Structure 1
Amino acid sequence: MSNTALLTRPATRHLRAVEDVAPAKPAAPAPAAALPAGTAPRGFALYVGIDEAKAAADGVSLSVLVEALRRTIGELAPHAETYATVALAPAGAGGRDVDVVRLALHEPSAVARTKQDEPADDHVPGGVTIDISRRRVHIDGEAAPLTFKEFELLQYLVLREGRTIERTELVSSLWSHAGDDEAPGERTIDVHVRRLRSKLGRYEDIVRTVRGIGYRFDRHADVVIRYGHGTPSPDRF
């Protein structure tokens, strides 16, 4: 089931709050006591539950909904920055769509209310098992000793399966909080990939080199990916 974290009306009639709704008084800032000490609001998240079939029944698509809301935000707040992602859940997952989305995207109150985790499935088949939710990788039943950064690198490629990722993107995404003197050079990525491949053993070819560009994750029959409650797909929009 795919769900998007953004929702509005179709692009041809997207929200026009300034024109269609009587001007409202600016919202008063939240009382200081309502916020944890030392914090300040920096934005908001809108969780929306709707799968592709329901969107199609309404005559739209998820991408149309996202772009319509982005245009509305651009009209109302030109300085706002937006980011859209899709919440993935196992096919046939029960419950309300919006609750599935909140849990998949790890919304704090949704996670806090969900204490009854699914029974752990510790059976690990042969081949490669990449467990995104538990941040573990097994090779032929044995835990692979990946470092934090090696797992981050593998996960980044897995979530973009089949797409070639340039070295510059890997640096800017995986070392986004590093200073200029801490971020690795593009060739350092090659070292990380080489070490990751060495730990993948005979399955090293699932991380492929695209000469002159970067790297790509290619899944085959020996690879199993576990997403748990859901893993955001950053490439959808």
Structure 2
Amino acid sequence: MSNTALLNRPAQATAAARHLSAVPAIPAVAEPAPAEQPGARHLPAGTAPRGFALYVGIDEAKVAASGVTLGVLVDALRRTLADLAPEAETYATVALAPVGSGGRDVDVVRLALHEPSAVARTKQDEPENEDRAPGGVVVDISRKRVLIDGESAAFTFKEFELLQYLVLREGRTIERAELVSSLWNGATEEESPGERTIDVHVRRLRAKLGRYEDIVRTVRGVGYRFDRHADVSIRYGHGTPSPDRF
């Protein structure tokens, strides 16, 4: 599945409205005792529901045949949710998968977004001896590691996140401010680095890439970019973490 621009044309919004409508209000009833709440006995001790994830499996061709876009569907779902629960917060992301991936769309989506139970069912199919690799750089997205000339490089978690962020946006220049806001999302002001601190992270990243350091390029005055190189290969495993949000 590829990224979809948000085109909220009136005709498309009307089409989406035909399929999505707010659920009728349910008459108030007496609140059940805590022990009788649906699903409560299945919750691990010390936990409470904070929201839910709805995986939607449909590719661009299928959604276009319905006269809408992925962006229109997301917008319609958000408006419906806003009508039902105005306090709810939402986050939407596109699930990317290699072209030609088989299986049901929704299963591909669950794997691409690393839904735990979906990933667990496929673990048995993973080859166990992939530690050796040919010369060059292998960015292993699924296992969160980097192999350089067949050897595992000692990347920190944040260094790998930085490289992965650039790799998944191949050819696009990423501003320092975007790197800070995305990679340190949710951090306090004290924990979040300044934009110039990104330069330090990039220097360390390049040092560990050694003779392949030029795959992370500096765009002077703007930020950084990952350029595909003949000596670089990407392993996506079960699915590609999506960089694209609605």
For the criterion TM > 0.5, the same-fold answer is yes
Amino acid at match of 1:107: E
How far apart are 1:37 and its partner, in Å? 1.9
The more displaced of 39-48 and 61-70 is 61-70
Q: Answer yes or no: is the 8 Å Cα contact 1:3–1:52 preserved in 2.
A: no
1:96 and 2:104 aligned: yes
C-alpha contact (below 8 Å) 2:165/2:243 kept by paired residues: no
Alpha-carbon contact 1:137-1:144 (below 8 Å) kept? yes
Q: What is the aligned partner in structure 2 of residue 24 from structure 1?
A: 26
Q: Tell whether 2:237 aligns with 1:228.
A: yes
Other structure's SS at 1:138 match: strand
When residues 200 and 26 of structure 1 are mapped into structure 2, their CA distance, relative to the original with a 3 A threshold, is farther
Please give the root-mean-square deviation of Cα atoms over the aligned residues, in Å.
2.6
Identity of aligned residues (%): 79
- TM-score under structure 1 normalisation? 0.83
Is this contact kept in 2: 1:3–1:51, CA < 8 A?
Answer: no
Aligned to 1:73: 81
Q: Secondary structure at the match of 2:230?
A: coil
1:41 Cα deviation after fit: 1.6
Query: 2:9 — aligned with what?
Result: none
Q: Which one-letter code corresponds to 2:25 in the other structure?
A: P
Shift of 1:87: 1.8
* Alpha-carbon shift at residue 215 of structure 1 (Å): 1.6
Give unmatched runs, 5+ long, in structure 1: 5-9
Report the Cα offset of residue 128 of structure 1: 1.9
Aligned residue pairs, count? 229
- 2:101 partner letter: A
Partner of 2:202: 193
> Retained in 2: the 8 A contact 1:3–1:48?
no
Instruction: State the match for 1:7 in structure 2.
Output: none
Alpha-carbon deviations, 1:141-196, whole Å to 9, x = none?
33222122211111121122233222223223323354333332222211110111
- 1:142 matched to 2:142? The reply is no
213, 223, 235: which is aligned to 1:214? 223
Per the alignment, residue 72 of structure 2 pairs with 64
Structure 2 unaligned blocks of 5 or more? 5-11, 32-36
> How far apart are 1:46 and its partner, in Å?
0.5
Question: Normalized against structure 2, the TM-score is what?
Answer: 0.80
Q: Distance in 2 between matches of 1:230 and 1:188?
A: 31
1:43 to 16, 32, 51: 51
